[in-house]
């Protein structure tokens, strides 16, 4: 059974159709890239998966369970994590405090319980491990807003990991980065999400081929092709519609 599935998802904005019945099936542990030209509907598909929008028609399933009408926070609690949505709060909190807040929220520990030393020790150990994993141990006491761009991305990944998600959704995680920053963040994503289910929207083909094992091509709001990355790379339809395009 797929861990994440969309069934005949349709959506429009003010009567203008943008998704025309999208079927997506992601298996547990899979690394899926969603590619397609600008305006194809990739981000909209994510917004329907995470619950930001309610689809006009069709269904979203997590572990075979229909979650189409569940609110965003419910989906997040049940393992659907979307990264790259850093909020202003995390700009003021230190890296350590941000990760601590995320771990506390996952463990459902209320703030009036944090004086319990044993609980706090476990939480802090987890924060230290996360800092190590994302390579920000040295920056633990730095406010999020003061971090370099690539380090902010690393913190966002850490916040996502703190929730122990079952599916990680990344929307163009390397957008706006230099070549060197991109390589650094791709390496980080690869390392820290190993063995986890990852769905990534990405236009940089080097990033796609570095991170994904299967690719879904979205074109004008419909799936043009879906399959193992080497098959997609050779697919004449895909070449014509997308891969051959000048970026």
Ligand X SMILES: Nc1ncnc2c1ncn2[C@@H]1O[C@H](COP(=O)(O)OP(=O)(O)O)[C@@H](O)[C@H]1O
Which residues of the shown chain bind ligand X in the complex (CB under 6 A)?
13, 18, 36, 38-44
Q: Would you say 40 or 225 has its CB closer to ligand X?
A: 40
Closest CB to ligand X among residues 38, 141: 38
CB of 195: closest distance to ligand X in angstroms?
A: 27
CB of 43 to Mg ion, least distance (A): 3
Beta strand segments in 44-196, E: 57-62, 65-66, 80-82, 167-171
Q: Site residues (CB under 5 A) for Mg ion?
A: 42-43
For the chain, the first-to-last Cα distance in angstroms comes to 36
Q: Which CB, 43 or 68, lies closer to Mg ion?
A: 43
Task: Please count the CA atoms within 13 angstroms of the CA of 232 that sit on its side-chain side.
Answer: 25
Report the distance separating Cα 242 and Cα 247, nearest Å: 9
Question: What tokens does 30 get?
Answer: 């899979």
Residue 33 CB, nearest distance to Mg ion (Å)?
A: 13
Q: Which does 40 bind (CB under 5 to 8 A by kind): ligand X, Mg ion, none?
A: ligand X
Least separation, in Å, of the C-beta of 241 and ligand X?
13
Distance CA 219, CA 70 (A): 27
Toward Mg ion, which CB reaches closer, 44 or 160? 44
Alpha-carbon span 32 to 34, nearest angstrom? 7
Residue 74 binding target from Mg ion, ligand X, none, CB below 5 to 8 Å by type: none
The least distance separating ligand X from the CB of residue 158, rounded to whole angstroms, comes to 25
Q: What is the nearest approach in angstroms of ligand X to the Cβ of residue 222?
A: 12
> Which partner, Mg ion, ligand X, none, binds residue 36 by CB below 5 to 8 Å per kind?
ligand X
- Cα separation, 160 vs 55, in Å, equals 25
Q: Which is nearer to ligand X, 83 or 100 (CB)?
A: 83
User: Residue 140 binds what, of ligand X, Mg ion, none (CB under 5 to 8 Å, by partner type)?
Assistant: none
Angle of helix 95-106 versus helix 149-162 axis, rounded to 10 = 20
From CA 61, how far away is CA 116, in angstroms rounded? Answer: 38
Select 45 or 192, whichever has its Cβ closest to ligand X: 45
| Cα distances (Å, whole numbers) of residue 167 to 3, 114, 145, 226 | 8, 29, 27, 19
């Amino acid at each position: 059974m797929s861990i994440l599935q969309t069934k005949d998802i349709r959506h429009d904005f003010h009567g203008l159709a943008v998704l025309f019945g999208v079927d997506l099936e992601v298996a547990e542990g899979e690394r899926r890239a969603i590619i397609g030209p600008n305006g194809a509907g990739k981000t909209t598909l994510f917004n329907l998966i995470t619950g930001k929008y309610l689809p006009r028609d069709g269904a979203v399933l997590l572990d075979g369970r229909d979650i189409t009408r569940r609110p965003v926070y419910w989906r997040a609690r049940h393992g659907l994590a979307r990264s790259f949505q850093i909020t202003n709060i995390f700009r003021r909190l230190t890296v350590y405090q941000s990760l601590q807040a995320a771990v506390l929220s996952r463990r459902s520990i209320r703030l009036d319980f944090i004086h319990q030393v044993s609980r706090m020790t476990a939480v802090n150990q987890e924060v230290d491990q996360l800092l190590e994993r994302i390579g920000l141990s040295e920056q633990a006491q730095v406010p999020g807003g003061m971090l370099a761009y690539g380090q902010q991305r690393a913190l966002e990944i850490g916040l996502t990991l703190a929730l122990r998600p079952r599916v990680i959704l990344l929307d163009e995680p390397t957008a706006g980065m230099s070549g060197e920053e991109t390589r650094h963040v791709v390496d980080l994503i690869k390392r820290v999400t190993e063995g986890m289910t990852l769905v990534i929207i990405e236009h940089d083909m080097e990033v796609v081929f570095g991170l994904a094992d299967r690719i879904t091509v979205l074109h004008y709001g419909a799936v043009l092709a879906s399959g193992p990355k080497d098959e997609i790379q050779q697919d004449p339809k895909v070449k014509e519609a997308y891969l051959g395009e000048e970026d």
